[in-house]
Amino acid sequence: MSEPLEFTVTLYPEPVLRRIAEEVTTFDDDLGRTVAAMYHLMFDSQGVGLAAPQVSLRRRILVMNEEGDKEKPELNITLINPRIVERTGDKALMEEGCLSFPSIFAEIARPENCVVEAMDVEGQPLRLELTGFISRVLQHEYDHLEGVLLVDRMSPADRVRNKVALEEMIEDYKEQRAQV
Ligand code: CO
In contact, 66 and 133? CB cutoff 8 Å: yes
**pLDDT average, residue stretch 102-108:** 94
DSSP bridge partners of 98: 101
For residue 180, the model assigns a pLDDT of 66
Asked if pLDDT for residue 39 goes beyond 80, the answer is yes
132-141 pLDDT, tens digit each: 999 999 999 9
Q: How far, in Å, from the CA of 1 to the mean position of ligand 1?
A: 32
Beta bridge partners of 131: 113
**Class in CATH terms, 15-179:** alpha beta
Res 179 pLDDT > 90: no
pLDDT in tens, 111-121: 999 999 999 99
The DSSP result for the chain, as a single string, is -PPPP---PPPTT-GGGGSPPBPP---SHHHHHHHHHHHHHHHHTT-SEEEGGGGT--B-EEEEETT--TT-GGGEEEEEEEEEEEEEEEEEEEEEEETTEEEEEEEEEEEEEEEEEEE-TTS-EEEEEEETHHHHHHHHHHHHHTT--HHHHS-HHHHHHTHHHHHHHHHHHHHHHHH-
In 3D, which of 6, 5, 36, 10 has the Cα closest to residue 21?
10
Residue-wise pLDDT tens digits, 16-25: 999 999 999 9
Distance 28 CA to ligand 1 centre (A): 26
- 177 CA from centroid of ligand 1 (Å): 22
Domain spans of the chain?
A: 15-179
Q: How far is the CA of 47 from the centre of ligand 1 (A)?
A: 9
- Residues 11, 169 contacting (CB under 8 angstroms): yes
Q: Is 18 left (phi over 0), alpha (psi -120 to 50) or beta?
A: alpha
Catalytic residues: 141
Asked if the model's pLDDT at residue 73 lies above 80, the reply is: yes
- Measured in Å, residue 2 CA sits from the centre of ligand 1 at 29
On whether the CB atoms of residues 85 and 115 are closer than 8 A, the answer is yes
> Of 30-34, 101-105, 175-179, which range is least confident?
175-179
From the centroid of its chain, how far is CA 84?
A: 14
